[in-house]
Amino acid sequence: MKHVVLTGAAGGVAGQIVPLLRGVYDPLVLSDRVKPAHLAAGERFVEADLTDPAALERLLEGAEGVIHLGGFSVEGDWETIHAANIAGCYNLFEAARRQGVQRVVFASSNHAVGFYQRRHRIRVDDRVRPDTRYGLSKAFGEALGSLYADKFGLRVFSIRIGNVADKPADLRRMSIWLHPEDLVQLIRIGLEHPAVRNEVVFGASDNARGWWDSRAAQRLGYVPRHRSEDHVAYALGEQAKLAPDPVGDVFQGGAFCAAEFSAPWPPEEGG
Ligand code: 15L
């Protein structure tokens, strides 16, 4: 795999992983609606809006693989989520199919399953429980990828990303943290591993307090290099600065679950 396009290049996750992907794929074409601040000399950038199917087709001409980080990366109103993450994601997969792209790595999110309680350990094939319109759009993207894999033979690798950062930012992130180097390892599995057909994996580093069964990724050779427990003092120090969140602290999705929450409390057994 040589020619790879990365969408969402101006976003925070791209800022952490693009430096690690330099020299791995050639060309690595970066794309977004706006030019990334961190564009390095000689790096190729193509402006494209996910709501513009023709621009996406031009962007993917000749590409073998796509890393689709683009879209709206937190909760938003329905119009915003629909345009960027529902229609935008559809446009991206459709352009990939029409241009004969071989593989798409889709940046899904832990918020596709955010309404599982923290006392539960979950597997990738447990049903989705989105915690927001944003999480719903990520579940849609995973299902869309599955359709394009089964119907058109596109190889699709969806990563339910936890929280990408150099260290876990608080107690919740101790369970879902994903170091940028571990994310790059997962992306490379998605783009290069011969067994990838139609996969969903959790994107987490080696988190002793994790909630997710990581065997789906491990079966494809994923061995995370970073351990959240190495940063426990920092994370708990940051947690101590936060106010308790009676709803968010119960669920894996945290504050995403608490926003707009009005269901009966406490949640019923099985909730
Ligand atoms: C996400 O999916 C968001 O894109 C990111 O901004 C974080 O909020 C992360 O989840 C998280 O759950 O910490």
pLDDT of residue 269: 67
Nearest residue by C-alpha to atom 9 in ligand 1: 163
Measured between alpha carbons, how far apart are the two ends of the chain, in Å?
Answer: 43
Q: Whose CA is nearest to atom 7 of ligand 1?
A: 163
Long-range contacts from 169-174, C-beta under 8 angstroms, 24+ separation: 169/235, 169/238, 170/235, 170/238, 170/239, 170/242, 171/235, 171/236, 171/239, 172/252, 172/254, 173/228, 173/235, 174/207, 174/209, 174/228, 174/229, 174/231, 174/232, 174/235
Tokens of 118: 């923290």
pLDDT tens-place string over residues 108-138: 999 999 999 999 999 999 999 999 999 999 9
Ligand 1, atom 11, residue with closest C-alpha:
163
- Under the banding of pLDDT at 50, 70 and 90, the label for residue 164 is very high
Average per-residue pLDDT in the chain?
97
Q: Residues enclosing ligand 1, CB less than 6 A?
A: 73-74, 109-111, 163
Which protein residue's CA is at the shortest distance from atom 2 of ligand 1? 109
The conformation of residue 88, written as its DSSP 8-state character, comes to: H
Residue 178 CA to residue 149 CA, distance in Å, equals 26
d(CA 194, CA 51): 31
* Overall pTM > 0.85: yes
Write down the pLDDT at residue 270: 63
Residue 268 has a pLDDT of 81
CA 147 / ligand 1 centre spacing (Å): 25
pLDDT digit string, tens, across residues 177-186: 999 999 999 9
Instruction: State the pLDDT at residue 1.
Output: 82
- Which amino acid is located at 142 in the chain? E
Q: Is the dihedral of CA 170, 173, 179, 180 positive or negative?
A: negative
Residue 266 has pLDDT above 90, yes or no: yes
The predicted pLDDT at position 264 comes to 96
What ligand 1 atom has the least distance to the C-alpha of 173? 13
* Chain segment 7-40, per-residue pLDDT in tens: 999 999 999 999 999 999 999 999 999 999 878 8
**Ligand 1 test: best mutation among 69, 115, 163, 238, most atoms within 8 Å of CB?**
163
Atom of ligand 1 nearest to the CA of 253: 12
CA gap 255, 65 in Å, rounded:
34
The pLDDT tens digits for 32-42 are 999 998 788 88
Atom of ligand 1 nearest to the CA of 138: 2
199-231 residue pLDDT tens: 999 999 999 999 999 999 999 999 999 999 999
Catalytic positions are: 134
Inter-residue contact 160 to 147 (CB < 8 Å): no
What pLDDT score was predicted for residue 133? 99
Tens-digit pLDDT profile for residues 35-61: 998 788 888 999 999 999 999 999 999
Write the pLDDT tens digit of every residue in 53-87: 999 999 999 999 999 999 999 999 999 999 999 99
